[in-house]
């Protein structure tokens, strides 16, 4: 059972959630910046000629909206993690099913890489904003654009982030591998093909985890 789903002595649940979210946002910044940077550059091109100070403010708003969505996903992950940890404490026999469940999650995440749903959100992450027309250089548009990017990115990464969560959020090797996979499918010329290759690897890993847990 991961310690990150448990309170420290004397810590309140809101305090535990705040600590987790702080760590989560830092991790997401490290993992997503390689693929977020090109999206911010495409936004900068879409707003056209704008003063540097205002452009920096608008891009900061896009980034803030983007990471707010990721913070919301992190809160959902924390609630689910705490619920699962609590269930394992109440039902020790459940712990024996966790390795198999982890393999099933990894297998499902691999299968998700082949779906039209994945392809749709991946395309939204890869394409330029506006698709042929400029975006208004105002704060409201920048904030909404950041939220949309965050949602598409979160949905696109759902399977890969699920793998990270079940393997171990604090596992640096797993974090590096998932970051590389996310970056490759976003930035490689044949992104959908890369996503399917990642899906094959994840599915095989899921089957291996299931077999070894039986």
What is the rounded average pLDDT of the residues 29-43? 89
- Residue 194 and residue 121: Cα distance in Å, rounded? 14
Dihedral angle sign, alpha carbons of residues 200, 201, 204, 209: negative
The pLDDT of residue 3 is: 59
Digit-coded pLDDT (tens) for 84-105: 877 777 777 777 788 888 899 9
Residue among 115, 101, 80 nearest 206 (CA): 101
Digit-coded pLDDT (tens) for 115-171: 999 999 998 888 755 455 678 888 999 999 999 999 999 999 999 999 998 887 778
pTM beyond cutoff 0.75: yes
Burial class for 192, CB neighbours closer than 10 Å (0-12, 13-18, 19+): middle
**DSSP characters for 172-201?**
HHHHHHHHHHHHHHHHSTTHHHHHHHHHHH
Digit-coded pLDDT (tens) for 72-84: 999 999 998 888 8
């Amino acid at each position: 059972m991961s310690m990150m789903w448990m309170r420290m002595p004397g810590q309140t649940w809101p305090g535990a959630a705040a600590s987790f979210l702080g760590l989560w946002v830092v991790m997401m910044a490290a993992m997503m910046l390689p693929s977020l940077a090109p999206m911010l550059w495409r936004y900068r091109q879409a707003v056209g000629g704008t003063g540097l100070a205002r452009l920096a403010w608008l891009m900061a708003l896009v980034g803030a909206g983007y990471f707010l969505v990721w913070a919301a996903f992190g809160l959902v992950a924390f609630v689910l993690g705490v619920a699962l940890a609590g269930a394992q404490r109440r039902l020790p026999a459940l712990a024996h099913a966790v390795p198999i469940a982890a393999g099933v999650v990894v297998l499902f995440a691999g299968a998700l890489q082949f779906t039209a749903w994945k392809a749709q959100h991946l395309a939204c992450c890869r394409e330029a904003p506006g698709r042929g027309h400029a975006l208004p250089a105002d704060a409201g548009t920048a904030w909404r654009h950041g939220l949309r990017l965050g949602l598409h990115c979160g949905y696109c990464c759902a399977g890969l982030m699920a793998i990270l969560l079940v393997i171990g959020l604090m596992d640096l090797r797993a974090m590096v591998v998932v970051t590389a996979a996310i970056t490759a499918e976003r930035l490689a010329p044949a992104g959908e093909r890369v996503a399917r290759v990642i899906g094959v690897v994840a599915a095989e890993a899921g089957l291996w985890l299931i077999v070894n847990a039986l």
